[in-house]
Structure 1
Amino acid sequence: MSNRPAISEEAIVLRGPLVTRFSDEEFFQFCQDNRDLRVERTSDHEIIFMSPAGSLSSKHNNEVLFQLTLWNKHTRLGEVRESSAAYVLPDKATLSPDASWFSHATWARVPVSERNKFLPVCPEFVVEVKSPSDRTTTLQAKMEQWLNNGAQLGFLLDCETETAWVYRPGRPAEEIRGYDQELSGEAVLPGFRLDMRPLRAE
């Protein structure tokens, strides 16, 4: 399987030597100069502009972050980040999940000089919440890319259809239907359970 990430047909992609030659520092500055845009970068250093999330998607993102942050506040096992955080992955892509968590050990590997930039690590846990402009197949490919780069657990949530997929390394994605239940953080996030009832379709 190629490590090239899937790109949504709705996304705008910048290609060509002008942008693919950007260093990590230049790409970071490009994003700082365009803060109103949702931007990611492929492993080939093509720049992807994505549509903003809709109101309900934003609400669902916030609910996931609230539950994850509350768990982390009690356990103090690591760090939580929201969708404006980006990670420079081993395959050279720069991606931003809707929610992510990484351990203190992972944070300790980030040089102090890099901690206010895009982090050169892969989070152990990621969540992607499907927005109206997203294609499920694109997000599924992105989840596989997270695993290929070192993520240990991932949730893909389609709140409109009340479907979830749980991603674990070396195993097929587990599809779960119905949001009258919880998703376990398993050994990666001990004790964490994502209550999906607040994410039900409206």
Structure 2
Amino acid sequence: MLSSPIVLRMPPEFQMTDEQFFEFCQINRDLRIERNQFGEISIMPPTGSETGNREGNLFGQLWVWSEQDGTGITFSSSTGFILSTGAERSPDASWMKLERWNTLSPEQQQKFAPICPDFVIELRSASDNLKPLKDKMLEYASEAGFQLGWLIDRKNLQVYIYRPGQEVECLDNPATVSGDRVLPGFVLNMSKVW
């Protein structure tokens, strides 16, 4: 059974500012909430235990690499970013170069940072529809600063690779996925994700 998030469409006079949306997310922290560029709010069900474990594993692999590499920082799935379109998104795992992170003020770093990560990962659970995830990845790929993204489709054992200005690449049941030149030396072991 495929599930979709609950989408709330708000009249223009009820649109929240970025500050209000941040506060809305804080008082509803048990929910996974995003907002698209049109102001529609998506409320997603929590992930199941198996998907949560796989998500934690891929974040863990990225975090270990990032700590060893030292050129950037990682973010978990509970981190929100404000994209240039006004959309507020929370990738399942992400990474950003320190030089970009350090351009933000301390206040911007405390809330939903108004910047797109260099690298994002979205993990499809068995109940997720694929099209909204692909649309989200295209949204990231159109952002300044974005360099690489992976949409991991556990259901079909595929990894879609997004790079700015390039066609989407699809890998069938890879044993590993490489971070290329964006994350030199980072190789995601897919046996822990599948």
TM-score range, shorter chain: over 0.9
Separation in 1 of the partners of 2:177 and 2:13?
39
The match for 1:160 among 148, 155, 160 is: 155
Residue 42 in structure 1 maps to residue 40 in structure 2 = no
Could you say which residue in structure 2 is the equivalent of 1:5?
A: none
Cα deviation for residue 17 of structure 1 reads 2.6
Moved runs in structure 1, 4+ residues, more than 4 A?
none
Matches within 5 A, 1:67-82: 67-82=61-76
Q: Which amino acid aligns with 1:169?
A: P
Where in structure 2 are there 5+ consecutive unaligned residues?
Answer: none
Structure 2 contact 10–39 (Cα < 8 Å) conserved: no
Instruction: Say if 1:19 and 1:68 are closer, same or farther in 2 by CA, change over 3 A.
Output: farther
Separation in 1 of the partners of 2:55 and 2:13?
30
Residue 176 in structure 1 maps to residue 171 in structure 2 = yes
Q: Deviations over 1:147-177 (max 9, x none)?
A: 0113210011112321111111111111111
Q: Which amino acid aligns with 1:83?
A: S
Instruction: Say if 1:35 and 1:18 are closer, same or farther in 2 by CA, change over 3 A.
Output: farther
Separation in 2 of the partners of 1:20 and 1:195?
45
SS where residue 101 of structure 1 aligns? strand
The match for 1:141 among 117, 135, 138 is: 135
Residue 15 in structure 1 maps to residue 9 in structure 2 = yes
Please report the TM-score for the alignment, with normalisation by the length of structure 1: 0.90
Separation in 1 of the partners of 2:10 and 2:48?
30
Separation in 2 of the partners of 1:102 and 1:115?
12
Where in structure 1 are there 5+ consecutive unaligned residues?
Answer: 1-7
The match for 1:65 among 36, 59, 67 is: 59
Cα deviation for residue 138 of structure 1 reads 1.4
Separation in 2 of the partners of 1:122 and 1:49?
21
Cα deviation for residue 18 of structure 1 reads 6.7
Could you say which residue in structure 2 is the equivalent of 1:3?
A: none
Q: Which amino acid aligns with 1:170?
A: G
Residue 124 in structure 1 maps to residue 125 in structure 2 = no
Aligned CA-pair RMSD = 1.6
Identity across the alignment (%): 38
Separation in 2 of the partners of 1:183 and 1:23?
38
SS where residue 115 of structure 1 aligns? helix
Please report the TM-score for the alignment, with normalisation by the length of structure 2: 0.94
Separation in 1 of the partners of 2:126 and 2:154?
10
Separation in 2 of the partners of 1:19 and 1:37?
24
Q: Which amino acid aligns with 1:105?
A: E
Cα deviation for residue 133 of structure 1 reads 2.8
